[in-house]
Chains A and B, each alone.
Chain A
Amino acid sequence: MLGLIMVAIFLGIALVEGVALAVGVQLTPFPPNQQHVGPLFSPPTSRYLMGTDNFGRDVFSRIIAAIPNDVEISFAVIAVALIIGLLVGSFAAYRGGILEEALMRLTDVFFAIPALILAIAIAVALGPGLVNMTIALMIIWWPPYARLARGESLKISHQNYIEAARFAGLPPPRIVFRHVIPNILLTMFVYATLDIGTVILVYSGLSYFGLGVLPPAADLGRMVSEYADYVLTYYWLPVFPGLIIALMVVSYSILGDGLRDALEVI
């Protein structure tokens, strides 16, 4: 439940900010991109909760502004991965034969694409930024889900209620949607919650290399990379963003663990 609360907090922040952005209201103590709101390199004080950076921007505000990036990309990528993976995996398992072979080998092809290389390629072709990185990750994130869906579907396809559905005259697509997918959904969700954190880490890595959101917009991964050299001097500059990244990843993991434990009881 701790995980749930933590995730809810992050989600809440993202949601509220999304609304605020649309409406044009500023929620952070200071405008995140505004320079010289305070002294340069100020350590954390009661006014500047996490200090200021080399441009005098408030770190706390920037972090709050940056959180939605990670939340959006992680949810979007996982959602798409789940959907594609579910469809590919469950149909492959149920139909079997050549279709299964073809789909699984296709899955292997996508599995083999390295994230960073693809991200760089897309950044070169379409430009960097949150949306393009989201697309890049969506392309390569679904194969493990397809494999998991296929494995779980195979387990289920031997259950008699699947055969009974054939005796009810249901065509294969209906059987997959009505009987196979609902019964593997739980396992897939547990895996997904444990995986969301990984998306955040990968995206942080990408923005570390400068492929994510462009400056001057705030981005957690980029903040860590830009200020890495200051870790022993103006420590608040890389450490706070890094901590927040870690916190988000851990909270998703805890949520996933909790989900898994809760489901085992059933």
Chain B
Amino acid sequence: MPSDIVDDRNILTTVDVKKYYPIREGFNPFGRSQRKYVRAVDGVSLSIPKGKTVAVVGESGCGKTTLARTITLMVPPTSGSIIFNGVDIAKEKIKPKVLYRDIQMVFQDPDSSLDPRIKIKDTIAEPIRSLVGGSEAEVNRYVRTSMEAVGLSEEQGSRPPKQLSGGQRQRVAIARAIAPQPKLIVLDEPTSALDASVQAQILSLLLDLQNKYNLSYMLITHNISVAQYLSDQTAVMYAGNLVEYGDTKTVIRKPRHPYTITLIQSAPIPDPLKRNLLSIEIKGEVPSAINPPSGCRFNPRCPYAEKICTEINPPLREISPGHFVACHFAEKTGT
């Protein structure tokens, strides 16, 4: 298992983290209450090495956003361990003011992640005032440093969010996240809402910041090229499970799980001579999270599926050093 190595090299390790949401269907005092669950995250184990980026890739409904919110304790995990900086934050009660000194998050939508009534320099100052404290002068120093690091001027700091562009607002969100000098930043689709040229600026900025401050990133994205550009390792999620995990170059260039292969083939390549999209055959759609298919969640859509795939959900296994795939037939899929 990739997370058997719970050691100093990793800033965060999750062990079999699960997040289930119960659904109550009706109220029947005479019958047994049907306990049904949305299995948003169904046993995910991964590690984020210090100073590196792990991309969690998947489509809508795969659980990657829930995973992000679970490991940051925005929602309490249903089960499993989340070992951050040597401490299992899922089991030990850790004060928010202590935890969020070291873990921060950048959200997807730059429009809703900033309070519209508050000037951006105060938005950036808020975590400092609350988590770090100190005199006004010290707080201002933190704020100024953050703003410089992301390329915002002091003049822009006095403005409310609506006077800034989408890209600038995302810079504010990043400045706010780095202000308390955290060790790990979870980036939830940080550039999905931005134009291509702005996206490029933000991605470059994120790389610079990582190098400058030795930050660790967990990058949630559905965009393979962004994942490839920013991350060292990639984890692919489908219907709450991790289906493939390893070094980014390996996972993206030599994918072995049938879903990963489909995902990579669907990503449009900007070259009209390589029209990959027109030759794919993808069956079916993302499964329901309440009633997933039995066995391997991908089996109804998988060209390699056989009987065992409907019975047993394959665990992640190492098919080559550092490359893990959850598929009964991983050996066959490499073309």
- With an 8 Å Cβ cutoff, the count of chain B residues facing the other chain is 26
Docked CA distance A51–B116 (Å) = 55
Given the complex, which residues of B lie within 8 Å of A167, measured CB to CB?
72, 100, 103-105, 127, 177
A-B contact count (CB 8 A): 52
Binds B, one of A156-164, A194-202, A232-240: A156-164
Given A161-B113, A161-B114, A161-B115 in contact, is the A168-B74 Cβ separation under 8 Å? no
> Would you give the 0/1 interface string for A165-205, flagging 1 where the beta carbon is closer than 8 Å to chain B?
11111100000000100110000000000000000000000
Is the pair A183, B112 in contact by a Cβ cutoff of 8 Å? no
> Would you give the 0/1 interface string for B105-121, flagging 1 where the beta carbon is closer than 8 Å to chain A?
10111001111110000
Is the pair A170, B117 in contact by a Cβ cutoff of 8 Å? no
Residue of B nearest to A180 (CB): B115
Is the pair A164, B130 in contact by a Cβ cutoff of 8 Å? no
> Would you give the 0/1 interface string for B23-67, flagging 1 where the beta carbon is closer than 8 Å to chain A?
000000000000000000000000000000000000000000000
Is the pair A183, B115 in contact by a Cβ cutoff of 8 Å? yes
Given A169-B96, A169-B100, A170-B126 in contact, is the A164-B131 Cβ separation under 8 Å? no
How far does the Cβ of A158 sit from chain B's closest Cβ, in whole Å?
8
CB proximity to B under 8 Å, residues A145-162: 159-161
Given the complex, which residues of B lie within 8 Å of A170, measured CB to CB?
126, 130
Given the complex, which residues of A lie within 8 Å of B103, measured CB to CB?
167
Given the complex, which residues of B lie within 8 Å of A159, measured CB to CB?
112-113
Docked CA distance A167–B114 (Å) = 13
Which among A159, A164, A166, A182 has the greatest number of chain B C-beta atoms within 10 A?
A: A164
B18 close to A (CB within 8 Å): no
How far does the Cβ of B193 sit from chain A's closest Cβ, in whole Å?
11
Interface residues on A, range: 10 to 19
Residue of A nearest to B114 (CB): A161
Is the pair A161, B112 in contact by a Cβ cutoff of 8 Å? yes
Given A160-B107, A163-B74 in contact, is the A168-B115 Cβ separation under 8 Å? no
B97 close to A (CB within 8 Å): yes
Given the complex, which residues of A lie within 8 Å of B116, measured CB to CB?
183
Is the pair A168, B107 in contact by a Cβ cutoff of 8 Å? no
Docked CA distance A163–B106 (Å) = 10
Given the complex, which residues of B lie within 8 Å of A161, measured CB to CB?
112-115, 123
How far does the Cβ of A266 sit from chain B's closest Cβ, in whole Å?
9
Docked CA distance A104–B114 (Å) = 29
Which among A161, A170, A179, A183 has the greatest number of chain B C-beta atoms within 10 A?
A: A161
26 contacts between A and B (CB under 8 A): A159-B112, A159-B113, A160-B108, A160-B109, A161-B112, A161-B113, A161-B115, A163-B74, A164-B105, A164-B113, A164-B114, A164-B176, A165-B126, A166-B74, A166-B96, A166-B100, A167-B104, A168-B100, A168-B127, A168-B130, A169-B96, A169-B101, A169-B130, A169-B131, A182-B117, A183-B116
